Structure 1
Amino acid sequence: MDKLTELSYALDTFYLLISGAFVMWMAAGFAMLEAGLVRAKNTTEILTKNVVLYAIACIMYMLCGYNLMYPGEAVNSVWPGIEFLLSNIDNEAAEVISVNNDTDDDNNVVYSKMADFFFQVVFVATAMSIVSGAVCERMKLWAFLGFSVVMTGFIYPIQGYWKWGGGFLDTLGFFDFAGSGVVHLCGASAALAGVLLLGPRKGKYGENGVIYPIPGCNMPLATLGTLILWMGWFGFNGGSELIISNVSEANTVAKVFVNTNAAAAAGVVAALITAHMMFGKADLSMILNGALAGLVAITADPASPSTLLSTGIGFVAGGLVVVAIVTIDKLRIDDPVGAISVHGISGILGLLAVCLSNEESTLSAQLIGIATIFGFVFTASLAMWFLLKSTMGIRVSSEDEYQGVDFSECGMEAYPEFTSEGSK
């Protein structure tokens, strides 16, 4: 390996690791967002879920998930086979063909396989974080963690293999640059299955279609979480270019950053306008979800569209998500943080928008990819949720739900108002 290749290897490995660290920081964003959008009596439990699900994702992806998603030698384009304990990770250079598709060794760039594993594992945790917000305030902690094991170790990696591991969706021409489908639609599909079996929170819906709003306890915290997620998304999308060590790739990464930011900004403005038109108020929770919707939508392809088109994609996503949240609520599907709309509806929009600027994509391939990811993840998740419901139960008691799951599940409150001094 010559000096120039060594420098490229070091630079690309460093870029992938730093991008992965940015995505890991999104775990903090999800935790703060969800902690702000739940009621005070459920804050400790939602924080516990977010910390522990990240740990479970890291362990399960190490044990089997990575090798399911990126097998050394797959059985076929649908089933990758299974190996354990990172058996095909030896930290040797992982070859990535340069952008001109020249396979000559002098034109190849490389990065550490361990860096690739780290970058991929934080994406798994992101998909699982989507689920936690949708089922919050009434799901048993241990049922959720049990599902996390299966989701991060098996469900996510299998559908991820179909696209990013070289499976049949990749062969078909399905395009998903950074995960509008593989990550976000996947997480939303699993969340929808759980919510349908779990049912709405007590007091959320009344007779004759009446909907009772249940506001979150800490909007400053929710706003902080959104801004952390916005920042982390630069690693999410920018890092998905994988390399940065030549002029062409560096320019692409810069374009990805700009387009990602533009889509988020447009999502904010669109959500503000839509909320004002529908409610007559500047609804902060909708504005925050508008930013996230723009980010999710542009994730399918932030490299191909112009900045103006990226802004348009984000704008449509930001307006659509407000309508989607209201519509899903009217269907009596209780999603406290709007995760199904933000990550599912916006993910689908982003995957379809790929066809506007990416010449390699086709509408048929995108539709097949959307249907495949949703169908598999929803069905597999529904089966797992049903198994958990039939064995250990997935919902807390009515009394625990009324009092809040902080004390019943975690034994402590996030905002204790009174303390007992005990005997002196």
Structure 2
Amino acid sequence: MGVLGKTITRTASLTGLAGAVLLLATTPARAEVSEETAFVFNTFAFLVSGFLVMWMAAGFAMLESGLVRTKNTATICLKNIALYSIAGIMYYVIGYNLMYSGVDGGYFGSFGGFYNTSDAEKALLGADEATPELIAAVTSNGYSVMSDWFFQMVFVATAASIVSGTLAERIKFWPFMIFVVVLTGFLYPIQGSWTWGGGWLAERGFSDFAGSTIVHSVGGWAALVGAIILGPRKGKYGADGSVHPMPGANLPLATLGTFILWLGWFGFNGGSQLALGSALDASAMAIVYVNTNLAAAGGVVAAIILTQLVYKKIDLTMALNGAIAGLVAITAGPDLQNHFTSLVVGAIGGALVVFAIPLFDKLKVDDVVGAISAHLVAGIWGTLAVGLWFGNGDFVTQVIGIIAIGAFMVITSAIVWLALKFTIGLRVDEEGEEMGLDKAELGMEAYPEFGHGSQSL
């Protein structure tokens, strides 16, 4: 019944109907929750949205596992759980402070590490009695400090996951993990500080609600540069420019991964409202959820129709990437109040994937899972869309942001990839690639019974 309803009931029991009518007449039209209640709901939103985004790590693992060949499946699974762990550690050690502490319109934050709970929260947790003064010192921040850290951390892990799928089946495990250390600890936080940390792009008005560019195109740029420097898989492209398909081994698993990503995206975009302490925030978050879902659906349908028209057959993998591209595209502006617009944005994202994937193949950029097309191409589109009639951003400023972040990621990623190539090396040898990375690097197989016949129980 709510606070106002309970108050009316109590008043009516004491003074009759006239008292209740008088109370209704004198009560303000807008009833606000207390500061502590808002603190609880805001913190709750960060935590729940964060573990939804964390679940996307499972989605990437399943999607990539389904789109590689069986001989590389265990390696992909290992990379995904390892990169999530490294991302969390690096963002704790240095990344969060570099992205958010003391940016003040500049280019990066503090190099101070080991981000921790606030002094006010420690005082409240350690007090014998939760006094109003201690509670007020905590709740005045609006949310628990570490709930925000958790929500931001799972985003950086997403950026790293994008790179994993593109470079699958031929990159060594340890060089890839070293790149993840640099990406999650330094590269992602530095460019992220330019907008979300209150840096120079934020002051120019660059708009990216949940990270079409700041998260997805960053992973896409790193993946693109890595794919060019690493080179394609052996036998992928013929000398005459022909493309030799290397189909994934488990499309049901890839489909499951896509659905998990779709689910996690509600936390990714919805949580980026960054508050749930008012009716306004709750309404805005609901709009974001609906727009996210519509964009993904639009991406799937567009990819299905286009593959039927272009190839005369419907391609499941294109449909899966169409969903992801639709989600990536709407991520820059899911707060749009016109739901049909989000459907259009997502559909264009799904259509772009259908043309981008074969284009990269023509350029001999071997992207095993289509991540460059789904995350980089669709991410650029989504960010530009905010500057068109699809959003409230300035088009020129959106272009400046895309170019600045793209240039930063291309240059820095190239330096790291080349340094790794000319020191410890990036690729497994030809024998290891032919054998599969599971045996070559892990000494195990994801499906050992496939090669040795069925075993009786």
Q: Distance in 2 between matches of 1:79 and 1:61?
A: 14
Match of 1:96 in 2: none
Match of 2:273 in 1: 241
Q: Distance in 2 between matches of 1:408 and 1:117?
A: 37
Match of 2:56 in 1: 26
Report deviation, 1:251: 0.5
SS at match of 1:258: helix
Higher RCO (CA < 8 A, seq sep 6+): 1
Unaligned segments of structure 2, at least 5 residues: 1-31, 123-136
Task: Give the structure with higher Rg (CA).
Answer: 2
Report deviation, 1:304: 2.0
Structure 2 contact 291–336 (Cα < 8 Å) conserved: no
Q: How does 1:6-17 map to 2 (within 5 A)?
A: 6-17=36-47
Q: Distance in 2 between matches of 1:358 and 1:393?
A: 44
- Is the aligned partner of 1:165 residue 2:197? yes
Aligned pair in 2 of structure 1 residues 280, 90: CA closer, same or farther (>3 Å)? farther
Question: Identity of paired residues, percent?
Answer: 53
Match of 1:292 in 2: 324
Structure 1 contact 317–346 (Cα < 8 Å) conserved: yes
Q: Deviations over 1:39-71 (max 9, x none)?
A: 000000011000000000000000000000001
Structure 2 contact 105–194 (Cα < 8 Å) conserved: no
SS at match of 1:165: coil
Q: Deviations over 1:13-59 (max 9, x none)?
A: 01110000000000000000000000000000011000000000000
Which runs of at least 4 in structure 1 moved beyond 4 Å after TM superposition?
87-93, 357-360, 418-421
Report deviation, 1:333: 0.5
* Counterpart amino acid of residue 81 in structure 1: S
Match of 2:446 in 1: 414
Q: Distance in 1 between matches of 2:116 and 2:54?
A: 24
* Counterpart amino acid of residue 27 in structure 1: A
Report deviation, 1:78: 1.5
Q: Distance in 2 between matches of 1:267 and 1:76?
A: 36
Q: Distance in 2 between matches of 1:54 and 1:394?
A: 20
Q: Distance in 1 between matches of 2:284 and 2:398?
A: 23
Report deviation, 1:92: 4.3
1:332 to 364, 372, 387: 364
Q: Distance in 1 between matches of 2:421 and 2:207?
A: 36
Aligned pair in 2 of structure 1 residues 75, 179: CA closer, same or farther (>3 Å)? closer
- Is the aligned partner of 1:86 residue 2:115? yes
Structure 1 contact 8–109 (Cα < 8 Å) conserved: no
Match of 1:67 in 2: 97
- Is the aligned partner of 1:4 residue 2:34? yes
Report deviation, 1:247: 1.0
Provide TM-score, normalisation by structure 1.
0.93
Q: Distance in 2 between matches of 1:84 and 1:65?
A: 8
Q: Distance in 2 between matches of 1:62 and 1:299?
A: 25
SS at match of 1:164: coil
Q: Distance in 1 between matches of 2:171 and 2:359?
A: 23
Report deviation, 1:268: 0.3
Q: Distance in 2 between matches of 1:172 and 1:90?
A: 33
Match of 1:45 in 2: 75
Match of 1:102 in 2: none
* Counterpart amino acid of residue 375 in structure 1: A
SS at match of 1:356: coil
Aligned pair in 2 of structure 1 residues 91, 17: CA closer, same or farther (>3 Å)? farther
- Is the aligned partner of 1:342 residue 2:374? yes
Q: Deviations over 1:359-389 (max 9, x none)?
A: 6411111000000111101110110000111
1:230 to 262, 267, 271: 262
Unaligned segments of structure 1, at least 5 residues: 94-104
Q: How does 1:182-331 map to 2 (within 5 A)?
A: 182-331=214-363
- What CA RMSD, in Å, does the superposition of the two structures yield over aligned residues? 2.0
* Counterpart amino acid of residue 244 in structure 1: L
Structure 2 contact 287–337 (Cα < 8 Å) conserved: no
SS at match of 2:206: coil
Q: Distance in 2 between matches of 1:58 and 1:198?
A: 26
Report deviation, 1:5: 1.2
Q: Distance in 2 between matches of 1:133 and 1:34?
A: 6
Q: Deviations over 1:296-340 (max 9, x none)?
A: 000001002511000001111111111001111111100010000
Aligned pair in 2 of structure 1 residues 205, 89: CA closer, same or farther (>3 Å)? farther
Q: Distance in 2 between matches of 1:113 and 1:233?
A: 23
Match of 1:373 in 2: 405
